[in-house]
Amino acid sequence: MAAALSHEKLSETHRPTLDQALDAIRTRAYWSPHPEHPKAYGEGGVPGSLGPAEGKAAFDAVLHTRLDLGQPGTDGWTGGEVSPYGPELGVEYPHIDPDVLLPAMSGAMGSWRAAGPETRALVCLEILARINARTHELAHAVMHTSGQAFVMAFQAGGPHAQDCGLEAVAYAYAEQTRTPEAADWSKPQGKRDPLRLHKSYTAAGRGVSLLIGCNTFPTWNGYSGLFASLATGNPVLVKPHPRAVLPLALTVRLAREVLTEAGFDPNLVALAAERPGEGIAKSLALRPEVKIIDYTGSSSFGDWLEANAGQAQVYTEKAGVNTVVIDSTDDYRGMLSNLAFSLSLYSGQMCTTPQNLLIPRDGITTDAGAKTYDEVVTDIAEAVGGLLGDDARANGLLGALVNPDVKARLEAAAALGEVALASRAVANPDFPDAVVRTPVVVKLDGAKPDDGAAFLSECFGPVSFAVAVDSTADALTLLRRTIREKGAMTVGAYTTSPDVERAVEEVCFDESAQLSLNLTGGVYVNQTAAFSDFHGSGGNPAANAALCDGAFVSNRFRVVEVRRQA
Amino acid at 534: F
Among 113, 134, 140, 243, binds its own copies (CB under 8 A): 113
Side-chain-side CA neighbours of 17 within 13 Å: the count stands at 22
* Interface positions, 296-325, toward its own copies (CB under 8 A): 306-307, 310
> Under the criterion CB under 8 A, does residue 515 sit at the interface with its own copies?
yes
> Under the criterion CB under 8 A, does residue 555 sit at the interface with its own copies?
yes
> Under the criterion CB under 8 A, does residue 537 sit at the interface with its own copies?
yes
> Under the criterion CB under 8 A, does residue 547 sit at the interface with its own copies?
no
Dihedral through CA 319, CA 302, CA 435, CA 345, nearest 10?
A: 40
Helix (H, G, I), strand (E, B) or coil at 46: strand
> Under the criterion CB under 8 A, does residue 367 sit at the interface with its own copies?
no
Q: Which is nearer to its own copies, 26 or 64 (CB)?
A: 26
Q: Does a cis peptide bond (omega within 30 degrees of 0) precede residue 548? A: yes
Stretch that binds its own copies, among 194-202, 273-281, 319-327, 382-390 (CB under 8 A): 194-202
- Pairing relationship of beta strands 323-326 and 313-317 according to DSSP bridges: unpaired
C-beta of residue 268 within 8 angstroms of C-beta of residue 235:
yes
CA angle 181, 120, 174 (to 5 degrees): 55
Q: Which is nearer to its own copies, 115 or 463 (CB)?
A: 115
Closest distance between its own copies and the C-beta of residue 434, in Å?
Answer: 30
Number of residues lying near its own copies (CB under 8 A): 69
* Interface positions, 35-54, toward its own copies (CB under 8 A): none
> Under the criterion CB under 8 A, does residue 234 sit at the interface with its own copies?
no
> Under the criterion CB under 8 A, does residue 330 sit at the interface with its own copies?
no
For residues 161 and 157, what is the distance between their CA atoms, to the nearest angstrom? 5
Closest distance between its own copies and the C-beta of residue 463, in Å?
Answer: 25
C-beta of residue 485 within 8 angstroms of C-beta of residue 508:
no
For residues 341 and 524, what is the distance between their CA atoms, to the nearest angstrom? 8
Among 199, 361, 407, 409, binds its own copies (CB under 8 A): 199
Nearest to 460, CA basis, from 238, 296, 327: 296
Stretch that binds its own copies, among 42-50, 171-179, 387-395, 471-479 (CB under 8 A): 171-179
Side-chain-side CA neighbours of 55 within 13 Å: the count stands at 29
Among 30, 415, 429, 430, binds its own copies (CB under 8 A): 30
Stretch that binds its own copies, among 77-85, 201-209, 249-257, 402-410 (CB under 8 A): 201-209
Closest distance between its own copies and the C-beta of residue 367, in Å?
Answer: 14
Dihedral through CA 422, CA 423, CA 429, CA 432, nearest 10?
A: -130
For residues 67 and 77, what is the distance between their CA atoms, to the nearest angstrom? 9
> Under the criterion CB under 8 A, does residue 551 sit at the interface with its own copies?
yes
> Under the criterion CB under 8 A, does residue 514 sit at the interface with its own copies?
yes
For residues 31 and 16, what is the distance between their CA atoms, to the nearest angstrom? 13
Q: Which is nearer to its own copies, 169 or 272 (CB)?
A: 169
Q: Where are the alpha helices (DSSP H) in 214-298?
A: 220-231, 246-261, 280-285
Q: Which is nearer to its own copies, 49 or 554 (CB)?
A: 554
Q: Which is nearer to its own copies, 148 or 490 (CB)?
A: 490
> Under the criterion CB under 8 A, does residue 562 sit at the interface with its own copies?
yes
Distance from the Cα of residue 106 to its chain's centroid: 26
Among 19, 68, 87, 178, binds its own copies (CB under 8 A): 178
For residues 447 and 445, what is the distance between their CA atoms, to the nearest angstrom? 6
For residues 548 and 550, what is the distance between their CA atoms, to the nearest angstrom? 7
For residues 99 and 186, what is the distance between their CA atoms, to the nearest angstrom? 48
Q: Which is nearer to its own copies, 439 or 541 (CB)?
A: 541
Among 53, 408, 427, 560, binds its own copies (CB under 8 A): 560
Partners of 78 in the β-ladder: 93
> Under the criterion CB under 8 A, does residue 497 sit at the interface with its own copies?
no
Stretch that binds its own copies, among 92-100, 257-265, 475-483, 548-556 (CB under 8 A): 548-556
Among 183, 370, 412, 473, binds its own copies (CB under 8 A): 183
Q: At what angle do helices 373-387 and 332-344 cross, to 10 degrees?
A: 60
> Under the criterion CB under 8 A, does residue 204 sit at the interface with its own copies?
yes
Q: Which is nearer to its own copies, 274 or 511 (CB)?
A: 511
Element (H, E) at 442: strand 440-445
CB atoms within 10 A of CB 311: 15
> Under the criterion CB under 8 A, does residue 13 sit at the interface with its own copies?
no
Going through 162-268 in order, the beta strands assigned E by DSSP cover: 182-189, 192-205, 208-212, 236-239
Among 1, 60, 111, 186, binds its own copies (CB under 8 A): 186
For residues 388 and 28, what is the distance between their CA atoms, to the nearest angstrom? 34
Among 4, 16, 23, 27, binds its own copies (CB under 8 A): 27
Closest distance between its own copies and the C-beta of residue 220, in Å?
Answer: 17
Torsional class of 277: left (φ above 0), alpha (ψ -120 to 50), beta (otherwise): left
Stretch that binds its own copies, among 235-243, 278-286, 397-405, 557-565 (CB under 8 A): 557-565
CA angle 536, 455, 459 (to 5 degrees): 65
Q: Which is nearer to its own copies, 96 or 314 (CB)?
A: 314
Closest distance between its own copies and the C-beta of residue 151, in Å?
Answer: 15
Q: Which residues bind its own copies (CB under 8 A)?
A: 25-30, 109-110, 113, 174-175, 178-180, 183-189, 195, 197, 199, 201-202, 204, 206, 306-307, 310, 505-506, 508-510, 512-523, 529, 532-534, 537-539, 546, 549-551, 554-555, 558-565
